[in-house]
Structure 1
Amino acid sequence: MAADWLGSVVSINCGDTLGVYQGRVSAVDQINQTISLTQPFHNGVKCLVPEVTFRAGDIAGLKILEIPEGSRRPIHNQPLEHTKILPASNHNGTGKQRPEASSAQNIPQKTDGIANDPAGTSPQPCSKTFVDRQTEGQNQPKNFRRRHNSWSSSSRYPNQVTPKKNGSKNGQHKARDDECFGEDLDEVPATDFDFEGNLALFDKAAVFEEIDTHERRGGGGGARSRGTPSERPPNYRHDENILESDPIVYRRIVVPHPGGKEYCTDSGLVVPSISYSMHKKLLSVAEKHGLTVEKRLEMSGVCASQMALTLLGGPNRLNPKNIHQRPTVALLCGPHIKGAQGISCGRHLANHDVDVILFLPNFVKMLEPVTNELNLFCRTEGKQVSNVKDLPDCPVDLVIHCLDCHENAFLRDQPWYKAAVEWANQNRAPVLSIDPPVTDQEQGVHAKWSLQLGLPLALGEQAGRVYLCDIGIPQKVYKEVGITYHSPFGCKFVIPLHSLQG
């Protein structure tokens, strides 16, 4: 009877198109020639529907994997040759065989197979059914994770063929994908993990109270004490050093005869001023040790030109896309070392695509450093004029003032000096003064910035904002003249100074 096979576990082969199904027989309809399987598996993967029904015309073969305990003993361990396989049926009605026809087959018991084969030459079971695979993991340790592969994973055993799609490459790729990504849907959790509920189980206040209690008893050694806000360790920025160091000494420069004024850098280091006599002595000792006038001129010219380029706009003004707006600088120089420093600065500016106009009066005799710097400047694209009338009538971008001298104050009475000062004050351009002298009188040219060399002089308010540049004087040269010196420049060659006295 067909009812005798209800509850049996069977494997139905529906050909290459539909594949292989496994499941437990739930119904057999003799009239409509159908068979239904519950808890079906398709090619080794559990189906999403609870039950599937097959027509006899779609069944190419049928294997009985297990018989219920009530009717017969299980035969899933029987040799493959004793398992009933239905022949393939065509679609024109010929060759059909009902599923219950297999009930007429005499299926030997397990003990019969052993008795008929005393030598143990019977073939071993061909494969493990999905029931065997489910019960197999019960004897594994807890940390064992069973891998759920598709039907192709059973192809390691004999007499089983992995279903392919007409032997094409796409079928091979799908079988390989199922091998890698096939997973039993029973092990996928139905609900998402409740993060908020799990976090609510953590009592933060109780944990901190326990830590504080442990530290008060001396267990923590006070290393992790939360304490009051004043006792907590400070919070550091990403650019601050968290390693403890020696206390910062802000007065690292000490001069024997201060100039009467003190400055400080942006980092708080105190830079005292010196008198002009100390400044002259410092340059004399440096020249004796090899820091010649030419080296000082080159160094001061580079620092002054770098500061001037920054004042002119830096990369926003000087770039290949903005060559139609080249800045113009007017350079006012006298026939002395200060003038030579200005000429050196103008040469470097001209090398950086700045339109430089040098004003230098014609003199019968000039110092050798001035002549050398002038010869180098004439090799650039800069322009030299000797008359104030040849200077531009329109405002320029920057005026560099190098007319004054520390020792020759009589130059202020010269007609060319007064004419140059008048032109600078009427041009309305900002003025940068290089190494201005200390004077009690108001300077003729009102400077916005002043650049000092080495150590500053005690300049007045008319000098504008004071900057300091490093001209390369060695530290032992400062020590030889009695100055305790530590460089305040850091990573820069030009730094701003702020007055500490009102």
Structure 2
Amino acid sequence: TVHSKFQSIYSMGEFIGAQLQLDCGPLLGTFVGTVVDVSNEKVTLRDASRNGLPSDTSEVTLHRSSIVSIVMLQSKDALAAAATTSASTETAKQQPKKQQLTATSASATSAAAIAKQQRTAEKLMSIPNATPAYICSSPPVKAPSHFSGSNKKKQQQPKDSPMQQQQQQRGVTPTRKTPIGEQQYRQQQDTSASVPGNNGGSAFVPYRGSKLPQQNASAQKQQPRHNAFSMSAGDMMDDFDFEGNLALFDKQAFYAMVDSGQTPEPDLVRTAQPPQPEPKLRPDQSVLLPGGAAPAAPSIQVPCKVDCQFATDVGLPVPSVTEELRVAVLSAADKAGLTAARLAEAFGRSASEFLVQQMGGASRLQPGNQHQLPQVAVLVGPGRRGLMGLSMARHLANKEVRVHVYCSERELAASSELAQEVQLFRTTGCPVVHSCRDLPWLLDYIVLATSEPDSPEHTLALWCRSNRAPVVGVCPQQRNPARLECKINLQYCLPVPVDAGYGSTYLVDAGITKHVYRQVGILYASPFGHRSVVQLHAAN
């Protein structure tokens, strides 16, 4: 029967004792209980539950205005019939309990005998070096038949010693180790707990079977689950204080304990570290040497005083030489067939590739990138430095770099080799100018391959300082009379110490052979590897 909230509540007086379901909206929820009282403004329920959870109080009172709808679940007569049935069932359940009480009263008559056994046990335990014992308050429990396993033959049990037989006759059971299966069986059967000493306990049940007693699965499922659903609704509504509990945890102390090798639990055993695998070797490491260590790289030995010790990126040592020793190497190379033009060609090829990478490489030199090609100005003079600068300019021009060469008319008329190289450079279509005013201002690099600026007030020195492009020096002088600040200085053969204003030192492979170095007393080993230009770092 469904009653609307608009019906008079006085008509519900006949429902006192019935079980109703009251819907109080989403805020209060749904209440189910037995009606015990009805007034003009409120309804009182007994044994009520809210949203399926039992209430904390024995009675719940609801106001009339909060009730949305009412549904009768069981009438007063139906509840009375159910109560009569449950009472008869409870009477049937209490009969075994009465029999148990009778058995308990019968066991009380043997209290005097049990007390006598306890006094006997106390006398035995007062004997020095006596064996500890359990006091038996009840006769030994016979083990179930399924303890013997699937084998139906009676297993032979070990005989007790004479001392153990005497103790059994006196009412004392000797201490024995109880198997784990027997302890589980005792706990499941709810037998009397055994307490060592003078407080009494249960007797020892021998267990020699091969299988543990199996519990009935259906019986376990039918057991009540009051422990799981006995929590009140108020306890579950309380919020957990996460911030307060987090403040109690000291993370720094915990991390320090873990780092020191300690563990939070004393019985926690730290697992052993697995064996570390053997390190994998690179292709340049030897499998015959211990640890795969590579053999010591051959070093360069020079017959002069080393003013500055250099080293490559991979750590290969490169000593510095004097200007006189480098002139001797170049003279020996010229006698071997490596003329100045050949050395300049090898130097220009390696140095131009290095400079292209410094300007952006493939991102700048592309067929579809004609609007932002790199632009370089090369300042050349007489001698080997001028020839190397012109070789660099020609190779850069062949890579579509916009190159502008500066060479004075006086120096061009004084050197035939320089005039020949300038004529070869003109075939690239790039301009050759004789005044620094004709050079462009927007440049990527300035290559200084001349010793003409001999003072800070020189025209070329003033122009280089006024232009913002970085300067690259080609085999610069040891001193810096023009006080120019270079970003890179390129050297060949072996490095010569130069002024710190020339920037980072790079060594260029010019193709000089070991035989040429050996003629001047240098034990040479190539520091280049797979590259043509390597950077040198000062070790001292």
Normalised by the length of structure 2, the TM-score is 0.46
Larger radius of gyration: 2
Normalised by the length of structure 1, the TM-score is 0.50
